[in-house]
Amino acid sequence: MRTKLVLTAAAAALMTAGAAKAEDLTLCWAAWDPANALVELSKDFEAQSGNKMHFEFVPWPNFADRMLNELNSGGKLCDLMIGDSQWIGGAAENGQYLKLNDFFDANGIKMDDFIPATVTGYAEWPKNTPNYWALPAFGDVVGWTYRKDWFSRPEIQKEFKEKYGRDLGVPANLDELTQIAQFFQGREIDGKKVYGAAIYTERGSEGITMGVTNWLYNYGFEYQNPEKPYDLQGFVNSPDAAKGLEAYKVLYDTATPPGASDWYMSQDIDAYKSGQVALQMNFAFIWPGVNTDPNVGGDKTGYFANPPGPKGHFAQLGGQGISVVANSDHQEAALAYIKWFAQPEVQKKWWAMGGYSALRAVVEDPGFATSQPYAQTFLDSMAIVKDFWAEPSYASLLQAMQKRVHDYVVAGNGTAQEALDGLVKDWTEVFQDEGKL
Amino acid sequence: MTNPALGRLAKATPPGLAHRLRGLSDRTIAWIFVAPTIFLLLAINIFPLIWTIRLSFTNFRVNRPNEAVKWVGLQNYSRILNDADIWATMTNTAHFLFWTLFFQILIGFALAWLINRKFKGNDLWTTIIVLPMMLSPAVVGNFWTFLYQPQIGLFNYAVAFVTGADPASFSMIADVRLAPWALIIVDTWMWTPFVMLICLAGLRSIPESIYEAAECDRASPWRQFWTLTIPMVLPFLMLAVLFRGIENFKMFDLVVQLTGGGPGDTTLLTSINLKREAFEKWRTGYASAYAVILFVTIYGLASIYVKALNRVKQR
């Protein structure tokens, strides 16, 4: 009731925006390239509203720790939070984000106008219900970049065809991707030893989970029984899922640079830009930077969506929605920012500046697919996304997966089946603790 | 007889304060001075400790303010003590603790022994040796990550130079057998100078006359070392073990930077595990019980050790 009153008041205040008092607003997000673009974009909001924007950006490895501490401690640092998609359940159930349904209705913001996967992933809790806690702010997904210039060399093409009996090009499935990476592993190119692929293996936060799920999904892994929520046995640890985990380990063991045992976004970028690897797994947010890089940018790089596996075609969802922090003293101004940000022309500019808009009017524009070399791959990838748990207990679920998967893939302990059986045990304990089982 | 200086001081004291303090006993004045410290100690140390103990018997989660807190008795303690993963992190911590102390004491004492000799450039070498301990652990962790890099790391090249192996053929932080030793090497590199300084203080506190007397008694250098030097430096060595032991029991930053606890859980130490339980999984009650167990362990071990240290000092 209180929230409704606040939102109604906010909506009324927005209608008389010209008379509104200027306020200081703080937006919290991760410290990465898109955040810098948002600083530039937000200057338009400052000019229009008279509000002063401040930004609190935290590097990815510490982002969740820092921001969840802020939310859980009831801090007032952030008025706007571009939080990770997995936080939505906890933030909604614990009253840390404002529910935005009434605000959206009052201001004509429709969730149908956004890419459906981003609405489900970034805004809804419970999932697949029309309860919105965020506006999709930054669409992101795991995809691949490859050294187009190396792939196009006649001598390399010839050798590849002799070895595998097909042309060297964008892999049609995950097995082909592994073969290509193995083909480049240890190869000498321009007098330098290069390696196959930079993939996610990081242990501390979420890295290896964000990587391995791209294999697991496509080999048949399911988070739960689609007919019976939280029924994990035989879905998380199915024989097919175990094969997917084994396949990821094969890629790690045979086609990654030595010492790539704790790599996530930044290490993968560094390896790719420095010419160490032929292929790079990474979130799409890095593509604008790759495209303009003097060493590997322009025609030297190609992009492709995560290839299919034997049981499906999915890619790990990244990205975030923008929410109003319930504890903020500047909720009206924060809602005004979201209203401004949702406008099609602002979203168009957001894309042009390197931010991945999730607004359909932008991505379905006829010129979008050709607007950047990676735009079509972004569209293809966003059409096949799947996300990790967004439960309030997501952190416990994530840590369990990090441990089990890293222990098998990198440390080489046990078998894939044992790792996934262990994961079922851990996740079952978490859901029992939560009272969901 | 009145001291003229005291008389001048008394005259300089404002009459109001003198008047106010006149009726107070020495004991009361002492309490007035000590009270702020005691208050801070209670607020910052004792109250949180009692609060932690209380929380350890509940299912409280700090990120679930809307959920009712349930009293779970000893359930958290029982789960922790029966959790194989917790015991694995305890084993990792014990391994790390034992070998870092072993190498730091051994090398630290040897360096102190050498530095204690009078030679040209003695001060310069002392300064160079103590440099690593002046660096931030986060910085040390970061640059050792590069040193251990199989393709470009100097460490791998140095090992390859000595053994003839391919530098890229092994990874100190990716291999389950090598990763614990990678941490031990870095911690030893960083903190041996600290042990050296303590040992040096011990060596320099031994009066020269004792050695001169031993010379007169025709004691061999070996005998002087074992019967004079070691017993007299022993309290300092034990102090160094205590400091480094406590520090390494709560080791966090260096390990997070170097390995993040991996590969798998190979280098997951108790402090990192505790932080994950408390501030990533937000199992506050469970993490409180974990913290209480660690506190009792450290407090118990440290108490026994300090008693032994006092006995050695009294000898």
Same domain? For A349 and A265 the reply is: no
The answer to whether position A101 is within a domain reads yes
User: Is the CB of residue A261 less than 8 Å away from at least one CB of chain B?
Assistant: yes
Same domain? For B20 and B151 the reply is: no
A261 chain-B contacts, CB cut-off 8 A? 171, 173-174, 262-263
Model confidence over B280-298: pLDDT tens digits? 888 999 999 999 999 999 9
CB contact under 8 A, A261 and B263: yes
Same domain? For A106 and A213 the reply is: no
What pLDDT score does B7 carry? 65
The answer to whether position B60 is within a domain reads no
Confidence of residue A116 (pLDDT cuts 50, 70, 90): very high
Model confidence over A395-434: pLDDT tens digits? 899 999 999 999 999 999 999 999 999 999 999 999 998 8
Q: Is the pLDDT of residue A11 over 70?
A: no
The pLDDT of B246-273, averaged and rounded, is: 92
User: Is the CB of residue B261 less than 8 Å away from at least one CB of chain A?
Assistant: yes
User: Is the CB of residue A72 less than 8 Å away from at least one CB of chain B?
Assistant: yes
| Domain ranges, residue B14 | 4-55
A93 chain-B contacts, CB cut-off 8 A? 64, 66
What pLDDT score does B93 carry? 96
Model confidence over A40-85: pLDDT tens digits? 999 999 999 999 999 999 998 789 889 999 998 889 999 999 999 8
User: Is the CB of residue A290 less than 8 Å away from at least one CB of chain B?
Assistant: no
* Positive or negative: CA dihedral B258, B264, B266, B272: positive
What pLDDT score does B20 carry? 62
What pLDDT score does A56 carry? 96
What pLDDT score does A375 carry? 95
Cβ contacts of residue A415 below 8 Å, gap of 6+? Answer: A242, A408
User: Is the CB of residue B75 less than 8 Å away from at least one CB of chain A?
Assistant: no
Q: How many structural domains comprise chain A?
A: 2
Q: Is the pLDDT of residue A347 over 80?
A: yes
The answer to whether position A406 is within a domain reads no
What pLDDT score does A28 carry? 97
Same domain? For A295 and A374 the reply is: no
The pLDDT of B27-43, averaged and rounded, is: 94
B174 chain-A contacts, CB cut-off 8 A? 258-262, 410
Same domain? For A87 and A160 the reply is: no
What pLDDT score does B205 carry? 93
Confidence of residue B152 (pLDDT cuts 50, 70, 90): confident
Same domain? For B13 and B105 the reply is: no
The answer to whether position A422 is within a domain reads no
Whichever domain contains B82, its CATH number is: 1.10.3720.10
Which of B63, B260, B264 is the closest to A202 by Cβ? B260
What pLDDT score does A205 carry? 87
Same domain? For B36 and B170 the reply is: no
Same domain? For A50 and A101 the reply is: yes
Which one of B256, B266, B274, B281 would you mutate to disrupt binding with A, by most A Cβ within 10 Å of its Cβ?
Answer: B281
ipTM above 0.90, yes or no: no
User: Is the CB of residue A143 less than 8 Å away from at least one CB of chain B?
Assistant: no
What pLDDT score does A15 carry? 44
**Among residues A369, A386, A403, which one ends one of the domains?**
A386
In chain B, the percentage of residues whose pLDDT exceeds 90 is 76
Same domain? For B188 and B108 the reply is: yes
B157 chain-A contacts, CB cut-off 8 A? none
**A310 min Cα distance to partner chain B (Å):** 28
Q: What's the rounded Cα separation, in Å, for the pair A78 and A83?
A: 11
Same domain? For A195 and A281 the reply is: yes
CB contact under 8 A, A411 and B173: no
Same domain? For B28 and B92 the reply is: no
Model confidence over B262-283: pLDDT tens digits? 898 999 999 999 999 998 888 9
Same domain? For A129 and A149 the reply is: no
Q: How many structural domains comprise chain B?
A: 2
What pLDDT score does A65 carry? 87
The answer to whether position A206 is within a domain reads yes
User: Is the CB of residue B137 less than 8 Å away from at least one CB of chain A?
Assistant: no
A94 chain-B contacts, CB cut-off 8 A? 63-66
Same domain? For A193 and A308 the reply is: yes
- Residue B164 Cα to chain centre, angstroms: 37
Q: What's the rounded Cα separation, in Å, for the pair A340 and A320?
A: 17
The residues pairing with A57 across neighbouring beta strands, listed in sequence order, are: A29
CB contact under 8 A, A203 and B149: no
| Domain ranges, residue A172 | 142-316
CB A189 within 8 A of CB A150: yes
The pLDDT of A100-125, averaged and rounded, is: 96
Confidence of residue A16 (pLDDT cuts 50, 70, 90): very low
Which one of A277, A327, A402 would you mutate to disrupt binding with B, by most B Cβ within 10 Å of its Cβ?
Answer: A402
**B189 min Cα distance to partner chain A (Å):** 22
What pLDDT score does B64 carry? 82
The rounded mean pLDDT for chain A is 93
Q: Is the pLDDT of residue A149 over 60?
A: yes
Closest-CA residue of B relative to A260 is: B174
What pLDDT score does B280 carry? 87
What pLDDT score does B19 carry? 59
Q: What's the rounded Cα separation, in Å, for the pair A212 and A419?
A: 13
The pLDDT of A147-151, averaged and rounded, is: 98
The rounded mean pLDDT for chain B is 90
DSSP B171-196: -TTTSTTTHHHHHHHHHHHHHHHHHH
**A191 min Cα distance to partner chain B (Å):** 15
**A181 min Cα distance to partner chain B (Å):** 18
In 3D space, the residue among A237, A307, A319 whose CA is nearest the CA of residue A283 turns out to be A319
The answer to whether position A232 is within a domain reads yes
Model confidence over B91-139: pLDDT tens digits? 999 999 999 999 999 999 999 999 998 788 888 999 999 999 999 999 9
DSSP B27-38: HHHHHHHHHHHH
Whichever domain contains A203, its CATH number is: 3.40.190.10
Same domain? For B81 and B36 the reply is: no
B178 chain-A contacts, CB cut-off 8 A? none
State yes or no: cis peptide before A307, omega within 30 of 0. Answer: no
Same domain? For A289 and A366 the reply is: no
Model confidence over A293-342: pLDDT tens digits? 999 999 999 999 999 999 999 999 999 999 999 999 999 999 999 999 99
Which one of A72, A209, A252, A405 would you mutate to disrupt binding with B, by most B Cβ within 10 Å of its Cβ?
Answer: A72
Q: What's the rounded Cα separation, in Å, for the pair B211 and B195?
A: 24
Structure tokens at A218: 């496509």
Q: What's the rounded Cα separation, in Å, for the pair A433 and B22?
A: 63
**A218 min Cα distance to partner chain B (Å):** 24
Residue scoring higher pLDDT (A204 or A160): A160
The pLDDT of B176-190, averaged and rounded, is: 96
What pLDDT score does A21 carry? 65
What pLDDT score does A50 carry? 94
**A94 min Cα distance to partner chain B (Å):** 6
The answer to whether position B304 is within a domain reads yes
Same domain? For A235 and A179 the reply is: yes
Q: If contacts are CB pairs under 8 Å, which of residues 75-104 in chain A contact chain B?
A: 90, 93-95
